[in-house]
Structure 1
Amino acid sequence: MSTPENPAQPQPQDSAETGVWERLERAAEASPAVSAEAPRSPAEHPQTQGEPASSVGEEPRVFTGSTSAVRRIPTVGIFTLRELMFLITSAAVVLLSFAPVISIRQVRVSYTLWDLQFVPMPIAVGILPLVALLLVLLRRLVPRINWRVGTLSVDQFASITAVIASVSYIVFIGSYALLTAPGQLTWTLPFAAMFSLLMLFSSTFAPYLPLYRTEFAERGEVPADPTARPVIPIARRPRPQGAWGPHPAEGTAYPAGYAPAAAAPAPTHVAPYWVYSFSPRPVYAPDGSAVLFEMGPTAWVLAVEDRGHSLVLRADDGRIGILYDLSNLTRG
């Protein structure tokens, strides 16, 4: 057994003790180097500043978004600032629809939009904004349900509602200002039109405004509804193109000055139809030997076959005959 360099160090008795002492010596030599290192700044630390360290046995969490971008979205309680503005303006539009819009001072009579019996206005400025308001509320209060109106999302329906309400108020004010006497329109209409325009800025124009743009930029991507996806392109069918150029003639060759006799017209077979005659006409037997019956102005007769120059008729009793006189015949 070799003698250690330090005589003051106790002598190990076996190889197991020797291994323990060697490990202790290496740990003692490494401890000054660790203590001599300066503590790293938070910027040099690989862990993100402000993010709690994961405990032992805990799976690392992956953060896909930008923390600074999420913090820039202005919120008020459980709603974003844009949603709160839409709720306030849509509620104001709904409430102002019940306020008088026309006042006739001479007879002291006032009319609301619901009293004018003009159906599109209450729907445009009363019912639709109320439905959009409720959908925005329910989307935050009951988030586990995917609230939609058909194929429209809540924001799409709110945007359409704002456009309809603002256009309806502008058209209503312009038309009634021309049709009614001055002073009959009340203050309700300008205020309601202003709130409908604010609805427009908090829904339709919101993705383009710097104050609300971040809310839409931070949303995740989801597959579009099948009805909102691009349409399938329709392949054009190739058009038949005629062959131009010389090609062999078809048919029978005849000598010069010879004209073949015209062939008899082929019988035309069509579906049965009714015929009528204003005067009595004889209907002959199929062999042409005798007259079977007459068709006349008293009733219609069923034609079961059209041979071009004649008709095969069937009487009510089932007899079959041929009509050769086809002039001035009414066909039904």
Structure 2
Amino acid sequence: MTDEKQDGNIDEAVATEEPPQYGVGPFSIREVALAGTWLVAFVVSFFPIYGDLGVGPSVWSSGIDWVLTVGVPTVAVFLIVLRRLSPQGIRRVGSLGIDQFASVAFSVATVLWLTIIWNSFIQLASGRAFLGTWVVWVEFFLMLAGVFLTVLAPFIAPFAQDFRGRPEVPAHRNARPVLPVSPRPAFVRPEPAADEDAPYSEDTATADENAYEAAPAHAAQAPATPYAASADGSEATADAGVDDTPRGAYDDAETTVLPLDEQDADADARADVAAAATATTVAADRPEAATEPVHARESFEHVENPSSTVEPAAATAPQHQAFWALVPEERDIVDEIGIPVFRIGPTAWALVIEDRGDAFVVRHEDGRIGYLHDVSGVTRG
């Protein structure tokens, strides 16, 4: 069954294969006809286009009219000849292929020669003589023949074979379909956020006072300093360290009352210590979320909610890890402008040095680097 399928595929490939194209040497019949048409037009362009024969100026001496009437078609024919003699030479003119450039060149030249004929008729209608010579008519019809051999050639039977069976290559980036234009999003003014490094102002002081008034009663009663008042009104003079003495040891201790003069002498110190205790209590009761850095909250939320769908930005970046790839059929590796550099096939693994999602950057054994745009069905090794 497998052999029958293979034989059927071979028969279909043979049936769809284009017949061989014959021409003159390395050139097709269309290219020979186009080159002959241009050669006659180039020779005739040296004759006068105005006035009597042999007296008036030619197109080469009439300013820069020769650039579009004869010069650009000459460049087009030269590129067509160079394409056959040097297949790896110039393949494009900007974003246009050589055949497309030739179509534009002969079309523009035809319009300019028609303009000269039209202006001659205008001069004749105004009572003057017809200024154009026979050269203008010959050049117009020769350039019109060039339009048939470039623009309309794919639809003319003798010359259509020159355009059939050509290999498909990626289009130049300037010739690809344009991307849709999205409407610009409306500007939204951001809300002012509290800055942790902002200077202390009157508004901040008012907020601190409100927080102090709303603080729990037990926070104000907590002895935060060595001089905090005890439950019976006496002053604690113990050190800031932890007192390991059992509670039973103080049951029989006598209460020591300081003299009035010593209490008055130490009143200012106790007032300063009480103010410091108030500030410490307000800071302790203030919510931590108000001063917590944004990145710390994000880390905490990520830990609390591990199922979050937020992914790091590096996950969408191109992967630079090299790997081996095997394609199911032979495919072209092209350069930046779409010219094939080399080919890879299903018989050997290819080294991919970068994965760009819709294209692979492939390196050949001899060091050449190109792009594989068709990444469907590729096996990674």
* TM tier relative to shorter chain: 0.3 to 0.5
**Larger strand fraction of residues:** 1
- Name the larger-Rg structure: 1
**Larger helix fraction of residues:** 2
